[in-house]
Amino acid sequence: MSEEINHHRRGFLGIAAVAIAATELGMIGAANAQAKETKAAALPSIRPGTNISFGPLKQIDAGVLNIGYAEAGPADGSPVILLHGWPYDIYSFADVAPLLAGAGYRVIIPYLRGYGTTRFLSSDTIRNGQQSVVAADIIALMDALKIPKAIVAGYDWGARTANIMAALWPERCKAMVSVSGYLIGSQEANKKPLPPKAELAWWYQFYFATERGRQGYENNRHDFAKLIWQLASPKWNFDDATFDRSAEAFNNPDHVAVVIHNYRWRLSLAEGEPQYDDLEKRLAKAPVITVPTITMEGDANGAPHPDPKSYSNKFSGKYMHRTITGGVGHNLPQEAPRDFAQAVVDVDTY
C-alpha cells in the first residue's frame, strides 16, 4: 500500500525552468559514442547544498521490504530512479531531484535496505547485502509503483545496483548514469589479491571481516561514516549539518547487519541466499550492458574506483564517459549536482 503525502520541499521553489537552448556540459571527459549525440536542454546552475529537505517521505511495500522513498516532479513524468551508496543516503540527491523535477521527470529516490525508513517486512528475512539482492529490491519497487521502465542513476552501491539492473533486466532500464563506471563483481574475481596500494584502499572491507570490525562499526557508525566521507571526498568541505542529516539513515536497525554482510559476502566470508544463485552466476560472467549509458568520475575521488579505460568495453549501447573536474570526490551527485542531473537529461536523448 502506498502512502500519499504532500511533498513540499524547502528550497525546491525557484528552480528555473529548463532552458530552451541546448548546450554541452563544459566538463566532459573522453567520449565513446556509437552515434551522434543529440543535444539536450541545459539545466540551470545550482549551488551544492541549496536544498536540504525532501519533506515527508512515502512508504510502500515492495518485495521483502517496506521501502521509504522521496518523490519529486510530475506523477506522469518520465521516471528516474536515483540510487545512493554507502555510507550515504537519499540526501546525496537533494539538489539533483529539483533539477530533474523542473525538467519534467518523475524522480524516485529510495532508501536502500538497511537505510533510513526502509524496513524488512519480516523479522525472519535474512539481512542480506549481496549485490543482486539490492537490485532485486529496486525492481520490486518499480513493480509496486507500476513503473515499467525508468532511467536508473547512482554512485557507489547505487551505481552497482543500476549496473545489475541494466545487465539483468535491460527491458526495465531506459538508460543509465553510473558514477565510477562498471561495478559488477563476483566472489570468484574477488578472491584474486590486488596490488598492495589497492588493497590498502579497501581497509574497511578487511576490518568488517572480523568480529572486532563488526562491533566497531556498530558502536561507532557515526564517526566511521564521517571518516569515509572525508577519505572518499578529500576536497569536499561538507559541514556537520550536512553529514548529520545523512547520518540519521544509519540508525536503521538493520543497517550494520546489511553492511557487514555485503562486504563479507564479497570475500566469500558470508553466504548468499540460494534463490539468488542464478542471478549471481549471470553476474559472475561480467555481462555487457546494452542500455544507453553515461559513466562519470570526479577528479578527486579518494575511494577505490576503476580506471575509465578499463570498463569502456563493457557498454555496447551508445556510451559516453565524463570526468568532472574541480575537486569532485566520491559522492558526485551531492558535490556536483548539476553535472549529475545533466547526465540524466542527456542520456535520455541517446
C-alpha cell at position 300: 578527486
The per-residue pLDDT for 40 is 83
Q: How far, in whole angstroms, is CA 94 from its chain's centroid?
A: 13
Whole-angstrom Cα distance, residue 4 to residue 43? Answer: 28
Q: What residues pair up with 119 in beta bridges, in sequence order?
A: 66
For every residue of 303-329, DSSP letters joined together read S----GGGTGGGB-SSEEEEEEPSS--
Contact 131, 264 (CB under 8 A): no
The per-residue pLDDT for 55 is 82
Whole-angstrom Cα distance, residue 285 to residue 292? Answer: 20
Whole-angstrom Cα distance, residue 314 to residue 299? Answer: 22
C-alpha cell at position 121: 517486512
Residue 33: closest CA among 167, 150, 175, 158: 175
The per-residue pLDDT for 38 is 53
| Extended beta strands in 157-248, E state | 173-179
Contact 229, 238 (CB under 8 A): yes
Instruction: Give, for all 350 residues of the chain, the pLDDT tens digit.
Output: 443 333 333 343 333 333 323 333 333 334 444 433 457 889 999 999 999 999 889 999 999 999 999 999 999 999 999 999 999 999 999 999 999 999 999 999 999 999 999 999 999 999 999 999 999 999 999 999 999 999 999 999 999 999 999 999 999 999 999 999 999 999 999 999 999 999 999 999 999 999 999 999 999 999 999 999 999 999 999 999 999 999 999 999 999 999 999 999 999 999 999 999 999 999 999 999 999 999 999 999 999 999 999 999 999 999 999 999 999 999 999 999 999 999 999 999 99
For residue 79, give the 3-state DSSP assignment: strand
Whole-angstrom Cα distance, residue 330 to residue 185? Answer: 19
Contact 181, 109 (CB under 8 A): no
Residue 41's contacts (CB-CB under 8 Å, 6 or more residues apart) are 18, 19, 20, 21, 22, 103, 345
Rg of the chain over all Cα atoms, to the nearest angstrom = 19
C-alpha cell at position 280: 549471481
In 10 A of CB 347, how many CB atoms? Answer: 24
| Extended beta strands in the chain, E state | 58-62, 65-72, 78-83, 105-110, 119-120, 150-154, 173-179, 293-298, 319-324
